[in-house]
Amino acid sequence: MKTNVLVIGGGGAGLTAAISAAKEGAQVRLVSKTQAGMNTCTAYSGGIFSLACGEVSPKEHFAKTMEVGCHANDAALVQTMTEHAEQTLLELQRWGVDIRFPRPGKASVRQSAAHKLMGGEGFTAQLRQIAQSEQVELIESSIVTDLLNDDSGVCGAKLVNWQTGKAQLLYADAVVIATGGAGQIFSRTDNPVRMTGDGYALALKAGLKLRDMEFIQFYPLGWNDPQLPVWMADLGLIDFIPLTDSHGKEFLLEKLHEWGFKNGSEGNLYARDRAAAAIAKADRSGGAFLHLEAASSELWQDRRFLRQLIIDPARLRDIRRPVRVAPLEHYFCGGIVIDAESRTAMPRLYACGEATGGVDGANRMGGNALANIVTFGMRAGKNAAAESPRVNVPVERETPLPDYNSKGELPSALRRQLQKNMWDNIGPIRNEKGLREALEFLDEFEARPMQADSPLELLKALEMPGLIQTARASAKAALLRKESLGVHIREDSVQ
């Protein structure tokens, strides 16, 4: 099978790239592990974009993005995003996407979401419909395990339908990696279960470089109570009810004021790194607690307060006690190295979205993720569509799947072990001893045999290389960067 453009990933970045390529006249196929547009970080997002619009200029957006990223960003990528995000969103509007600009510097797709706890779900559903109307072929329930390449660059991919176990080779004139991040290397994450670092592993296997893999953004506030789901709570909650340490001190609000921020809402946009570190330290020293018992009956009627909870208020309304909270993994700032046109170092191979690094530097500014995925997704699709058609495709013998029927451990059980170890050793606060222990664990872990006794276990087995390679890349990068910077916090930091 052959196509002009192959897109790997069915989230906001991948769908934008696919539509963009199709509108340029390319034949496009998109591979997604689940139903395209669903169960992605874009769908799970708040649906808010930060960008230069209204009275907010590209220069101002650029300066704030660089400041929040500790100037570790790729300035050329930041400039591209800040100068082109608005026109990209206007183009999405012309496609038929419901995007609104409620105030200067912000755009929203929340209004199209069926449930406001998944503010981007309506956005990705609309992109999926548009992709289908543009004749993009969606190949779902499939995972890409290898890229194919020849002397002139990438030429396709090997994919496996995890429901049937059948593999096939799909050749292409150009390929776009848009696989998202890898939150599932951790036991505490707000990422969907399919975020397993597949794109990072594909890039490494193809000899490409990753950058900034030590910079993993941990959202400061996440529920850490057995009665509640492992999910985020907006940092703006501390503007309504107290967040204290085990001694009853409102430690974070004090620190935010010291750092020059008025409240938790400002800290959520511009100081997630420092806020997450502060809460993680409190968690290690007896716990951090949100005082739900302090919420008055009037407050439970306040829509602003209810929005900050980010889970169904009915699950919290009757809890009249302090609830323990802790950070949880939210976003990978690092990833595949690209240029301002979404090109990688391999000819004909493009990448966009959270699978890439450079835009965010050492810390991501709130709202920039969605601006990033559409700006570089559109560029990736247009440029991929412009690649010249291949006259011939290589004849390559199909490699068999690994044998997952022999004796071994279930991938689901192995994943839980990896997640716990990575949370303990490369979570919000790190040190050399823990990072070396993580790398030693991964060396031993990688050799353990797996047994896949169901389609879902087969999928988890095929996802394991992404988890392992992402965890190893992050641990190595964190070990090399001995000083704390942005979201990378070394408690043994060398200043």
- Residue 71's CB: how many other CB atoms inside 10 A? 14
What is the structure's pLDDT at 237? 95
User: How far is it, in rounded angstroms, from Cα 258 to Cα 91?
Assistant: 41
Indicate if 326 and 208 belong to the same structural domain.
Answer: no
Indicate if 209 and 226 belong to the same structural domain.
Answer: no
Pairing of strands 28-31, 2-8: parallel
The answer to whether residue 237 is domain-embedded is yes
Indicate if 246 and 184 belong to the same structural domain.
Answer: no
User: How far is it, in rounded angstroms, from Cα 277 to Cα 280?
Assistant: 5
User: How far is it, in rounded angstroms, from Cα 368 to Cα 331?
Assistant: 11
- Residue 25's CB: how many other CB atoms inside 10 A? 10
Tokens of 39: 């169960």
Per residue, what are the HEC states of 282-293? HHHCCCEEEEHH
Determine phi and psi for 281, rounding to 5 degrees.
Answer: -65, -40
The three-state secondary structure class of 173 is strand
What is the structure's pLDDT at 398? 61
Indicate if 373 and 310 belong to the same structural domain.
Answer: no
What is the structure's pLDDT at 132? 97
DSSP state of 159: E
Indicate if 235 and 289 belong to the same structural domain.
Answer: yes
Indicate if 53 and 190 belong to the same structural domain.
Answer: yes
The answer to whether residue 175 is domain-embedded is yes
The answer to whether residue 281 is domain-embedded is yes
Mean pLDDT in order along the chain per 10 residues (495 residues): 95 98 98 93 88 97 96 98 98 96 93 76 93 98 95 93 94 97 97 97 97 96 93 94 96 95 91 92 95 94 92 90 96 98 98 98 94 98 93 63 81 97 96 98 96 95 98 98 95 78
* Contact call for residues 458 and 162 (beta carbons, < 8 A): yes
- Residue 121's CB: how many other CB atoms inside 10 A? 25
Domain at 255, CATH number: 3.90.700.10
Indicate if 222 and 299 belong to the same structural domain.
Answer: yes
What is the structure's pLDDT at 32? 98
The answer to whether residue 359 is domain-embedded is yes
User: How far is it, in rounded angstroms, from Cα 229 to Cα 251?
Assistant: 25
Indicate if 68 and 179 belong to the same structural domain.
Answer: yes
> Among 226, 124, 170, 206, which residue's Cα sits nearest to residue 394?
170
> Among 448, 480, 482, 484, which residue's Cα sits nearest to residue 464?
448
User: How far is it, in rounded angstroms, from Cα 361 to Cα 365?
Assistant: 10
Alpha-helical runs (H) found in 156-227: 198-205
Determine phi and psi for 329, rounding to 5 degrees.
Answer: -60, 140
User: How far is it, in rounded angstroms, from Cα 118 to Cα 128?
Assistant: 16
The answer to whether residue 487 is domain-embedded is no
Domain at 118, CATH number: 3.50.50.60
Indicate if 167 and 86 belong to the same structural domain.
Answer: yes
Indicate if 85 and 203 belong to the same structural domain.
Answer: yes
- Quote helix, strand, coil % in the chain, to nearest 5: 40, 20, 40
User: How far is it, in rounded angstroms, from Cα 417 to Cα 410?
Assistant: 11
The answer to whether residue 311 is domain-embedded is yes
User: How far is it, in rounded angstroms, from Cα 63 to Cα 16?
Assistant: 26
What is the structure's pLDDT at 397? 57
Contacts of 328 (CB under 8 A, 6+ apart): 186, 188, 189, 190, 218, 219, 222, 230, 231, 232
User: How far is it, in rounded angstroms, from Cα 179 to Cα 197?
Assistant: 7
Indicate if 244 and 151 belong to the same structural domain.
Answer: no
What is the structure's pLDDT at 494? 67
Indicate if 326 and 338 belong to the same structural domain.
Answer: no
- Domain limits for position 48: 2-214+333-385
Amino acid residing at 385: A
Q: Which of 385, 400, 426 is the last residue of a domain?
A: 385
Domain count, the chain: 2
The answer to whether residue 447 is domain-embedded is no
Q: Which of 385, 403, 421 is the last residue of a domain?
A: 385
The answer to whether residue 10 is domain-embedded is yes
| Global confidence as pTM | 0.94
User: How far is it, in rounded angstroms, from Cα 394 to Cα 150?
Assistant: 8
Q: Which of 365, 385, 405 is the last residue of a domain?
A: 385
